[in-house]
Chain A
Amino acid sequence: MNENTSDDTPVDLDAAFRDSHIQEVLDKLDRELIGLKPVKTRIRETAALLLVDRLRKGFGLSADAPSLHMCFTGNPGTGKTTVALRMAEILHHLGYVRQGHLVSVTRDDLVGQYIGHTAPKTKEVIKKAMGGVLFIDEAYYLYKPENERDYGAESIEILLQVMENNRDDLVVILAGYKDRMDKFFESNPGMRSRIAHHIDFPDYSPEELCSIAQLMLEKSQYHFSPEAEKIFKDYIVRRMELPHFANARSVRNALDRMRMRQANRLFEKRTSKLTKADLVTIEADDILASRLFNGTDEKKAT
């Protein structure tokens, strides 16, 4: 097809949509990630843009590769890394990145120990991420304003250059806590302007956390007994009030402890008859044993 195609040439967006298998990925996203409404909307929008761009290209219309560098902000345990992984997959399905792998790094992987160490180190990581997604966790650590001789700035400079020049080779995703990322961008305006998508990950509601727990249990082939389910909701609400609550991560840790208690409970009554159902059920007692429910030393609860 070329520019001579008349303006009323039909466009089969639906066929292109089906061909890209993007619906499968989006469905999987909906199934496996609870909540995160704004994030999903953003992903859907991005997917739509890329798909339309691809169709435009088919007609010979100009379709500049959009800049897809992203910044994920949100509290701990809100699913930033998980979504980044999915993002790599989605962008791969849409043909935006060629390989669709995710290289996850932190400051240590990018910044060197001595003069002249940083540039090769950063470049090495960038080369590994080419054709995929470079995920920089806790990106605000890259810039340490209190130490003007810090090599982080050098790393940022190289990153900026690559983000600009190799836009179709890799997608950079920065992640971190909201307030610290804001400060990071304030001191690196170049970085801010090169990142088109700022996505904020909201905290989960107690109901969402319960469904996350269900999903996690399902994956490891456990389930709550009916009472346990009710008590778990109570547990989540109590846990959310405590400091250092890390959303889905706290839920996972809590579940791990419950599995431990369940194993212990089974072990103690090993002389009685056990069934397969006992092995997969988490009872109310396993949750109630948590320190959160013994009012005495509530502060120490984890």
Chain B
Amino acid sequence: MMTNPGNRLTQGQFSFLPDLTDAQITAQLKYALKNNWAVGIEYTDDPHPRNTYWEMYGNPMFDLKDPAGILMEINNCRKTFPNHYVRVTAFDSTRGVESPTMSYIVNRPKKEPGFGLVRQEAEGRNIRYTVHSYATDKAEAERY
């Protein structure tokens, strides 16, 4: 049974919705800036859910006042990695919090092969399950 047609990656916020438009992204960025969160842009071609550390595209952007600058960077990143996953994260640097507060995907590869379920036979009749991304069978940068 197809539970997720198109195998869309569902990580972070808004991932079950259609892709955000630039205007919608700007609105989200505005919200992050209003809360004084630093916004960073990250990309990867290994979308396994346990792969938490994506590559950073430039430095996280502190002290910004307007979303236009971030949107410019997002578009630069999309241009550089048109077939990677790109996500935007907001980071709350308040002492004692210091953690990401938002994370959503703003760019995805044209074709997402999705994940397969791998079953491993273990002792007795035990079965171990693991999730495997089809894309990672290929070498880095050739995946999508």
Contact = CB atoms under 8 A, between A and B. Distances in A.
Contacts, number: 39
B33 to A, nearest CB: 10
A99 interface: yes
B65 A166 contact: no
Interface stretch (B17-25, B69-77, B85-93, B132-140): B69-77
Contacts of A101: 65
B64 interface: yes
Interface stretch (A32-40, A122-130, A186-194, A276-284): A122-130
Interface residues of A, number: 14
Interface in A78-111: 98-99, 101
Interface of A: 98-99, 101, 120, 124, 126-128, 130-132, 166, 169-170
Contact of B61 (A98, A127, A166): A127
Nearest to A162: B72
A29 B69 CA distance: 30
A291 to B, nearest CB: 44
Contact of A166 (B58, B59, B67, B68): B68
A99 B65 contact: yes
A302 to B, nearest CB: 37
Interface in B31-67: 58-59, 61, 63-67
Contacts of A120: 58-59
Interface string B3-17: 000000000000000
Contacts of A126: 69
28 contacts: A98-B66, A99-B65, A101-B65, A120-B58, A120-B59, A124-B59, A124-B61, A127-B69, A127-B70, A127-B72, A127-B73, A128-B63, A128-B64, A128-B65, A128-B69, A130-B64, A130-B69, A131-B66, A131-B67, A131-B68, A131-B69, A132-B65, A132-B66, A166-B72, A169-B66, A169-B68, A169-B69, A170-B68
A171 B52 CA distance: 38
Nearest to A169: B68
B64 to A, nearest CB: 6
A189 B58 CA distance: 31
A170 B70 CA distance: 14
Nearest to A103: B65
A99 B63 CA distance: 13
A132 B59 CA distance: 21
Contacts of B65: 99, 101, 128, 130-132
A115 to B, nearest CB: 18
